[in-house]
Amino acid sequence: MNKSILNELNTENEFYFQWHITEKCNQRCKHCYHSNYTSTNELTLSELILIANKIDSTLRKWNKDGTLSITGGEPFMVIDKLFPLLQHINSLETINHFDLLTNGSLLDEATISKLKEFKKLRRIQLSMEGGNQKLNDQIRGNGSFEKTLSTIRLLKENGFQVAVMMTLSHMNKNEIEPLLELLKKERVDTFSAERFIPEGAGADLKDEFLTADEVREVFQKIYCVAMKEDKIRILLYRPLFALLNGNDPTVGALCSAGNNALTIMHDGTIYPCRRLPIPIGNALTDSFYKVWYTSEFLWNVRNLKNIKGKCADCDLIPVCRGCRAMAYALTGDYLAEDPQCWK
């Protein structure tokens, strides 16, 4: 009998929480994974603090470095709760750093100045969908391109690290290079791309879903740029990137579901991942131990022998296993093969 279990379930030293403190949002992006913006049963500040303390004690027990992304909806829509929560998170020893994921539209000089007091705030992540205004605004709403650029400039002037994420679909699959050129000019620090999953508000956009060959083409493009680019860091730790170079640990990553991450929603509901909207507990009423140790869903995805289709026989399964959220959204079976895998 020994106590090394967590390192068997999770070989990483970090544990990641993506925390959606509100569903309220002032934008209506076409591909959004939220289907509702009413934020019913949104938690109070004292409830958020209670959950932050649970995160702290759990990480202490597991001897893990905690990383958090605080997001929404749009987190700055609930600024009265956001700042005290960040102040508390900033004081927790187990939290190594946290990021803010925002559309940037509510950030002004005063807000940005206040963010400077949080020493553990590593990065602020905004979203853009391409290098041209028309396409970006078609997806994210009128005026969002210019507003995002002005927020990026303000953040950089104030010394923040800025990340930009794009969601890959038919609409913007040819926008990688134009967007990266723009981001380099704006001194953006990191870039990442997520595959569009038809769920939430984007559930009806099935035509925007990329085929496996299209994903391969786009990922190859991103990988090639990443290998020669030194002005902006391009993050490649997502499932399927391992198909391009399975020997490089910085290329590709295991799906985090059941591995090293949990998502907390505005009402405390816990999902394995934001893109996998299967409730596995509630952060307010359940301990993270209970969720992590007893969730049938989590145990099903941890057992690689359960993964079906071509993923089951793939030699890359120890480092990839596809995106469980993509499998779920497209087939209704989270153990099915990743429908966008081109191998």
Partner 1 sequence: MLEINLNDIFVLAEDIFLQKIDELEKYWVFNIDTGEHYTLNETSYWILEQIAENSPAKDILENFLNSFEVDENRGEVDFGEIITGFLKEGIINRAERPDKKEGEK
| Positions in the binding site for partner 1 (CB under 8 A) | 1-6, 8, 58, 61-62, 287, 289-290, 293-294, 299, 302-303, 305
Closest CB to partner 1 among residues 62, 191: 62
With CA atoms as reference, report the closest residue to 172 among 211, 144, 210: 210
Task: Tell me the closest approach of the beta carbon of residue 5 to partner 1, in angstroms.
Answer: 4
Task: Tell me the closest approach of the beta carbon of residue 270 to partner 1, in angstroms.
Answer: 14
Closest CB to partner 1 among residues 119, 305: 305
The angle formed by the CA atoms of residues 144, 148 and 153, to the nearest 5 degrees, is 155
Closest CB to partner 1 among residues 147, 321: 321
Task: Return the structure tokens found at 38.
Answer: 């009413």
User: What is d(CA 20, CA 324) in angstroms, rounded to the nearest whole number?
Assistant: 20
Task: Tell me the closest approach of the beta carbon of residue 312 to partner 1, in angstroms.
Answer: 12
Closest CB to partner 1 among residues 1, 110: 1
Task: Tell me the closest approach of the beta carbon of residue 55 to partner 1, in angstroms.
Answer: 12
Q: Say if residue 317 is exposed, middle or buried (CB neighbours under 10 Å; 0-12, 13-18, 19+).
A: middle
Give 296's strand partners. Answer: none
Task: Tell me the closest approach of the beta carbon of residue 45 to partner 1, in angstroms.
Answer: 26
Closest CB to partner 1 among residues 166, 298: 298
Q: Please, what's the largest Cα pairwise distance for the chain? A: 61
User: What is d(CA 65, CA 38) in angstroms, rounded to the nearest whole number?
Assistant: 33
User: What is d(CA 39, CA 81) in angstroms, rounded to the nearest whole number?
Assistant: 14
User: What is d(CA 283, CA 17) in angstroms, rounded to the nearest whole number?
Assistant: 11
Closest CB to partner 1 among residues 37, 62: 62
User: What is d(CA 61, CA 36) in angstroms, rounded to the nearest whole number?
Assistant: 35
Task: Tell me the closest approach of the beta carbon of residue 296 to partner 1, in angstroms.
Answer: 10
